[in-house]
Amino acid sequence: MLPFLDRDTVMGLTYAGAVAALREALLSGLDVDADPARTVVPVPAGQLLLMPSSGTRYTGVKLATVAPDSTPRIKGVYVLMDAATLAPLALLDGPALTTLRTPAVSALAVDHLAPKAPARLVVFGRGPQAHGHVAAIDAVREVVDVTLLGRGDDPAPVAGADIVCCATTARTPLFEAGLIRPHATVVAVGSHEPDARELPAELMGTVVVESVATARREAGDVIMAGTADLIPLASVVRHETTVPDDRPRVFKSVGMAWEDLAVAAAVYEAQTH
């Protein structure tokens, strides 16, 4: 019987550990565009999402479900396999893996985009992803103040923020671009749908993304703004590209299968070594 790595086991890797696993994956020369595109299957209660990925040591697939009228909204499981034999090695709690890897991806981006100084953080959202982003950002920067905002809250605190994270199900911008300070770093992770966005178009001049092709296919913030200048996160992590620092720095994430695989493998190895 396959071992099941439950929520406590998955989260035991810590956000710092997940950031390290993601950084190592990108520095190893990983081709983030090698994986198949996310498969989204509409069903009466919501969506089925299938996200496969394969590396040199491990192959894996996440089967996630999104049920807007159910609690919790996101459910699922991750199957980790040996890359050479495709023998299943372990099952992981899918929502826990998503709760860990999504903020970790954001934190990795923030670590390469935000000034290395104490930061005031504003997070839009009140769910697991919002709280996860607080913990993940705190793992890479000294966070001196945190404000959590719901979608209907006054966005005025954004004007004093050094880092702004958007982790909501919003389909229209959460604040006006003029509120963002010139040195601030902005992260949006709430949507992988081409017709939903959290950020105003005026912020979307130069945008760091996980994959240019994936962002043009799935990132509504990018698609609806018509953003032409997209910078792959891998090129930033590898110090191949310099992001302009005379304007707010923006990272738009939609979540990719290689991220799940990198973090799932790190969780598995932490339990078996």
Give the separation between CA 103 and CA 165, rounded to whole angstroms: 10
Pairing of strands 74-82, 119-124: unpaired
| Interatomic CA distance for residues 163 and 128, integer angstroms | 18
140 three-state secondary structure = helix
Q: Do domains 4-98+257-272 and 102-252 have the same CATH topology?
A: no
Instruction: Give the model's pLDDT for residue 1.
Output: 84
In tens, the pLDDT along 173-203 reads 999 999 999 999 999 999 889 999 999 999 9
Residue 11 has pLDDT above 90, yes or no: yes
pLDDT value for 135: 98
102-252 architecture in CATH?
3-Layer(aba) Sandwich (3.40)
Question: Which regions of 111-268 does DSSP assign to beta strands (E)?
Answer: 119-124, 143-149, 163-166, 185-188, 206-209, 229-232, 249-252
Domain residue spans of the chain: 4-98+257-272, 102-252
Q: Tens digit of pLDDT for each residue in 199-221?
A: 999 999 999 999 999 999 999 99
Contact 142, 152 (CB under 8 A): no
pLDDT in tens, 115-129: 999 999 999 999 999
Assess whether pLDDT exceeds 90 at residue 26.
yes
pLDDT of residue 245: 86
**Residue 255 falls in which region: left (phi positive, over 0), alpha (psi -120 to 50) or beta:** left
Q: Is 146 exposed, middle or buried (0-12, 13-18, 19+ CB in 10 A)?
A: middle
Q: Please report the sign of the dihedral spanned by the C-alpha atoms of residue 124, residue 126, residue 127, residue 131.
A: positive
How many Å apart are CA 265 and CA 56, to the nearest integer? 11
The span from the CA of 197 to the CA of 179, in Å, is 17
pLDDT value at 71 more than 90 = no
CATH code assigned to 4-98+257-272: 3.30.1780.10
What's the pTM value of the predicted model, to 2 decimals?
0.95
pLDDT at residue 116 in the model: 95
pLDDT tens-place string over residues 165-175 = 999 999 999 99
Q: What is the pLDDT of residue 85?
A: 98
Check whether 72 has a pLDDT greater than 90.
no
The whole-number average pLDDT for the span 242-261 is: 95
pLDDT category of residue 39 using cuts at 50, 70 and 90: very high
pLDDT at 73: 84
pLDDT at 14 over 90: yes
Per DSSP bridges, beta strands 39-43 and 4-5 are: unpaired
- pLDDT tens across 128-163, in order? 999 999 999 999 999 999 999 998 899 999 999 999
What rounded mean pLDDT belongs to the chain?
96
Please state the separation of Cα 37 from the chain's center in Å: 16
- pLDDT 10s digits, 220-246: 999 999 988 999 999 999 999 989 888
